[in-house]
Amino acid sequence: MSPENTFNSRLNAVAADTETLLDQILGAAPLEGERSRPKRLLEAIRYSSLGGGKRFRPFLVVESAALFGVARSQALMAGAALECVHCYSLVHDDLPAMDNDDLRRGRPTAHKAFDDATAILAGDSLLTYAFDLLSRAETHPSADVRIKLVMALARASGLGGMVGGQILDLAAEGRFADLPRPHTLAEVETLQAMKTGALIRFGCVAGAILGEASAERHQALERYGAAVGQAFQIADDLLDIEGDTATVGKATGKDAAAGKATIVGVLGIAQSKERLKALVAEASSALSVFGDKAEVLKMAARFVAERQT
Ligand code: GRG
């Protein structure tokens, strides 16, 4: 099989398994400690999390956990938790008060398909559900491992992670008089490492946590995740400039119009493409400690850099 086919089939397998798992855990029956699952909210949650997306973050969890021989069912639970946080972030990012987008994953955004209030609540529920999933024994038999996952995901998602990065992103648009607009390369790198990078890094670190990895292997996956996160964001920014809406599944050309701070905006297209190549090399070299076992993750770094959707 060509490297491209190997990567795509592994990604598609995780996507299918993640879909099945999310479908199953987002059922109508209330769980112990829940009273009822209101129909409209559940529909909005299912609309926002099922039937779309590449499931790249769960793929990172499953493939990094596989390096340590972790059971796939456990990695899929942690991957589903991460995907819940990701889907919540997309729903909230699309709201009128944030990016005000009508199209996501080739379909109307959640607030268009439902309404703003329902979309806010669907996002809130997806965020809390992520931690529900991580705390379950199916995710890992050791409570210590589960607590480490909870803490790592909380830190990647919140104030000092994705949400913090989101407010820096809004600041870059000039929305707040009391928050300076990030514009230097270092400032934009920090913004993006938080907004997009933190969840991708968590995906890789989650494998190490589930596998109770040595410090050396944990750090190797952290380094890999940081490089892939940056490559993912630069590829996303290039798609916003060079991609078309039909292929990408969302509006393009919005970054420059909104005055967003991007690495491509600071470095230009040619230099950004050079940086992408360097990041792929950095991601591969970070994995050298794993030898041949990490081939799929190395391919993933290449395909992230070259992706068209
Ligand atoms: C609103 C709390 C809050 C956070 C928003 C992640 C994020 C922060 C906003 C998403 C907007 C955006 C376009 C970010 C750039 C990179 C990115 C996360 C793209 C979407 O991820 P993909 O390509 O999407 O993995 P799919 O649909 O495949 O899951």
CATH of the domain at 158: 1.10.600.10
Q: How far is CA 200 from CA 112, 130, 168, 233, in A?
A: 27, 15, 18, 10
Ligand 1 pocket, residue 163 CB under 6 Å: yes
| Residue-level pLDDT at 4 | 80
Residue among 150, 128, 159, 163 at smallest CA distance from 206: 150
Residue 59 has pLDDT above 80, yes or no: yes
| Residue 67: Cβ within 10 Å count | 23
Chain segment 143-202, per-residue pLDDT in tens = 999 999 999 999 999 999 999 999 999 999 999 999 999 999 999 999 999 999 999 999
Tell me the pLDDT band of 252, cut-offs 50, 70 and 90: low
Q: Is the CB of 94 under 6 A from ligand 1?
A: no
- Neighbour-count burial for 276-289, b at 16+ CB within 10 Å, e otherwise: beebbebbbebbee
Bin 75: left if φ > 0, else alpha if -120 < ψ < 50, else beta: alpha
Q: Residue 208 sits in which domain range?
A: 3-306
Ligand 1 centroid, distance to 32 Cα (angstroms): 32
Token pair of 217 as six digits: 């292997």
Amino acid identity, position 276: L
| Gap from CA of 53 to ligand 1 centroid (Å) | 10
Mean pLDDT of 262-275: 94
| pLDDT reported for residue 239 | 92
The answer to whether the Cα torsion of 241, 247, 248, 251 is positive or negative is positive
Q: Is the CB of 250 under 6 A from ligand 1?
A: no
282-307 average pLDDT score: 95
Tell whether ligand 1 has an atom less than 6 A from the beta carbon of residue 240.
Answer: no
Q: Is 89 in the pocket of ligand 1 (CB under 6 A)?
A: yes
| Angle, vertex CA 104, rays to CA 101 and CA 110, nearest 5 | 75
The 3-state DSSP composition of the chain as helix, strand, coil percent (nearest 5) reads 70, 0, 25
Nearest CA to ligand 1 atom 18: 196
| Sign of the Cα pseudo-torsion (132, 199, 6, 214, in order) | negative
What is the tens place of the pLDDT at every residue in 90-110? Answer: 999 999 999 999 999 999 999
Nearest atom (ligand 1) to Cα of 199 = 6
Q: Which atom of ligand 1 is nearest to the CA of 92?
A: 1
Q: Are 25 and 80 in contact (CB under 8 A)?
A: yes
Number of Cβ within a 10 Å radius of residue 32: 4
Q: Nearest residue CA, atom 26 of ligand 1?
A: 53
> Which helix H or strand E contains 107, and what residues bound it?
strand 107-108
Close Cβ partners of 177 (under 8 Å, ≥ 6 residues apart): none
Q: Spell out the residues 6+ positions from residue 263 whose beta carbon is closer than 8 angstroms to its own.
A: 185, 188, 189, 192, 230, 233, 234, 237, 272, 275
Instruction: Locate the ligand 1 atom nearest the alpha carbon of residue 169 and give its number.
Output: 8
Give the number of domains in the chain: 1
Q: Is the CB of 53 under 6 A from ligand 1?
A: yes
Angle (nearest 5°) at CA 132 between 29 and 51: 65
Please give the number of the atom of ligand 1 that sits closest to the Cα of 309.
Answer: 23
Ligand 1 pocket test: pick from 100, 107, 236, 239 the residue with the most ligand atoms within 8 Å of its Cβ: 236
Smallest Cα–Cα separation from 212: which of 62, 56, 67, 18? 67
Which residue from 93, 104, 234 has its CB within 8 A of the most atoms of ligand 1, so it is best to mutate? 93
Cα 56 to middle of ligand 1, angstroms: 11
The protein residue whose alpha carbon is closest to atom 19 in ligand 1 is 236
Q: Please give the number of the atom of ligand 1 that sits closest to the Cα of 93.
A: 1
Q: What is the pLDDT of residue 5?
A: 87
Identify whether the C-beta of residue 290 lies closer than 8 Å to the C-beta of residue 67: yes
Confidence of residue 68 (pLDDT cuts 50, 70, 90): very high
Rounded Cα–Cα distance for residues 158 and 73 (Å)? 26
What pLDDT was estimated at residue 298? Answer: 97
Tell me, in angstroms, the distance from the centre of ligand 1 to residue 35's CA. Answer: 32
